[in-house]
Amino acid sequence: MTSRILLTGGAGYIGSHTHVALVAAGHDVVILDNFANAQRTVPERLEQITGKRVTLVEGDVRDADTLAKLFARHEIDAVVHFAALKAVGESMARPLAYFDVNIGGLSTLLRAMDNAGCRRLVFSSSATVYGIPDEAPTPETAPFRAMNPYGQTKITGEQMLGWLQAANPEWAVGILRYFNPAGAHGSALIGEDPRDIPNNLMPFVAKVALGELPRVSVFGNDYDTADGTGVRDYIHVEDLARGHVLSLEKLLSTRQGHIVNLGTGRGYSVLEVIAAYQRATNRDIPYQITDRRPGDVPIYVARADRAVEVLGFRTEKGLDEMCASSWKWVSGLAGKA
Ligand code: NAD
Ligand code: WQD
């Protein structure tokens, strides 16, 4: 059955890939984005990939008027709420901006949805809600631990949604805790916006492979992991996008809320990622071991079985495909620069 889905932040990295997956699954999509962290070219790129017109509302998720008009104009069946600020370091320096966009934006959106009678939502959460977890792989039952204002906003968002569902059973919310999204669409038309010097590992490694940065700083090799470097559960952004389709379809067909990790259940170290990128590109990627990055977690790996049970979600693409698609995307951009 075709549904009409609103994607807040739909022009961003994960939102744009989810747009493609939703259109492929036969749904109509409306994007709301203020382009705070997205390229203006994304909507036309999405049209190239899907062969369908993109319905775009340019606006801010904190703007109640824009939302009221949007819900009055389009009959929205469900929302995926991506729009948020997401840089951990920036959140330490500018917590109020994070409270405003991530918590204020969510609250404004929920009010507008409730007024419009649209009560199905998929929420972008993060493994960061687990802080430094006691167990790896980490199950969804692990306790919340805020390590920074960004993480706090995801915990608060999840808790708000829990209270809302408790107050009114009409609400059905899918909370998706992403591990480390990586890679790009196979067409290389969309990917992660590489505007600034990246904080995250794979986009940084990509810039070293391109020769735009001299070397990767490996943040510590004295963790209690096989090679001493940090271990993460990298998930291909196209797999992640498919997870949203499954979550939405579950909410639309059953009205059952869920909280699931989206990861592969397999971890890779920083050195393994560098080696995989080297293989994918056939380029030398110099690195040096530096101090640990303050606040870093040694190991983040998802317990991935609940996503299989509840959503039938299984990842299909591995680290090599993440590196290859990332490279196709960033080298294509560099070619055009
Ligand atoms: P992104 O920055 O690429 O996408 C966010 C989008 O929201 C951008 O297009 C931006 O322009 C838009 N936006 C920001 N503020 C807005 C506002 N006030 N009104 C309207 N639009 C606004 O980020 P992403 O990586 O695609 O992340 C999407 C979601 O997933 C976020 O909620 C993020 O916290 C969460 N998440 C991301 C990761 C990750 O590593 N990328 C991991 C876990 C969770
Ligand atoms: C991965 C590994 C680093 C850069 C962050 C957020 C988290 C989530 C995803 C949104 C770690 C190491 C990194 C570098 C390195 N975002 N590293 N050199 O820290 O798992 O998570 O992004 O929710 O909230 O905290 O991802 O890609 O920054 O780091 O050695 O230049 O790579 O120490 O072990 P992280 P990351």
> Where exactly are the structural domains of the chain?
4-180+235-263
Q: Answer yes or no: is pLDDT of 317 > 80.
A: yes
Q: Is the CB of 199 under 6 A from ligand 2?
A: yes
Averaged pLDDT for residues 202-211: 96
Residues 306, 139 contacting (CB under 8 angstroms): yes
Output b/e per residue, 94-111; b: 16+ Cβ within 10 A: eeeebbebbbebbebbbe
DSSP secondary structure code for residue 214 in this structure: S
Ligand located closest to 12 CA? 1
Q: What are phi and psi of 107, to 5 degrees?
A: -65, -45
Averaged pLDDT for residues 218-232: 97
Burial of 13 (C-beta count, 10 Å sphere; 0-12/13-18/19+): buried
Q: How confident is the model at residue 5 (pLDDT cuts 50, 70, 90)?
A: very high
DSSP secondary structure code for residue 54 in this structure: -
Chain-wide mean pLDDT for the chain? 96
Substitution site in 20, 66, 86, 236 for ligand 1 pocket (most atoms within 8 Å of beta carbon): 86
Cα separation, 200 vs 221, whole angstroms: 17
Return the residue matching tokens 């998720």: 61
Q: What is the set of active-site residues? A: 150
Q: How confident is the model at residue 193 (pLDDT cuts 50, 70, 90)?
A: confident
DSSP secondary structure code for residue 302 in this structure: B
Averaged pLDDT for residues 39-60: 98
Residues 66, 60 contacting (CB under 8 angstroms): yes
pLDDT of residue 107: 98
Q: What are phi and psi of 318, to 5 degrees?
A: -105, -175
Strand partners, 57: 32
Lowest mean pLDDT among 193-207, 220-234, 305-319: 193-207
Cα separation, 151 vs 81, whole angstroms: 16
pLDDT of residue 336: 61
Distance 293 CA to ligand 2 centre (A): 9
Substitution site in 216, 270, 319 for ligand 2 pocket (most atoms within 8 Å of beta carbon): 270
Secondary element (H or E) of residue 124: strand 120-126
Residues 66, 59 contacting (CB under 8 angstroms): yes
Tens-place pLDDT, residues 246-288: 999 999 999 899 999 999 999 999 999 999 999 999 999 999 9
Q: Answer yes or no: is pLDDT of 219 > 90.
A: yes
Please state the atom number of ligand 1 nearest to the C-alpha of residue 11. 9
pTM for this structure?
A: 0.98
Cα separation, 237 vs 204, whole angstroms: 17
Q: Is the CB of 97 under 6 A from ligand 1?
A: no
- Reported in sequence order, the residue ranges of 50-119 that DSSP labels E, i.e. its strands, are 55-58, 78-81
Tens-place pLDDT, residues 102-148: 999 999 999 999 999 999 999 999 999 999 999 999 999 999 999 99
Q: Answer yes or no: is pLDDT of 337 > 60.
A: no
Please state the atom number of ligand 2 nearest to the C-alpha of residue 293. 33
Averaged pLDDT for residues 48-57: 98
Q: Looking at the chain, how many residues does it have? A: 337
Q: Is the CB of 171 under 6 A from ligand 2?
A: no
Please state the atom number of ligand 2 nearest to the C-alpha of residue 150. 24
Return the residue matching tokens 């980490």: 138
Q: Answer yes or no: is pLDDT of 335 > 70.
A: no
Q: Is the CB of 82 under 6 A from ligand 1?
A: yes
pLDDT of residue 333: 76
Q: Answer yes or no: is pLDDT of 295 > 90.
A: no
Averaged pLDDT for residues 18-34: 98
Tens-place pLDDT, residues 138-155: 999 999 999 999 999 999
pLDDT of residue 157: 98
Cα separation, 73 vs 61, whole angstroms: 16
Residues 19, 31 contacting (CB under 8 angstroms): yes
Give, in degrees to the nearest 5, the angle at Cα 52 between 75 and 254. 45
CATH of domain 4-180+235-263: 3.40.50.720
Q: Answer yes or no: is pLDDT of 334 > 80.
A: no
Cα separation, 247 vs 141, whole angstroms: 19
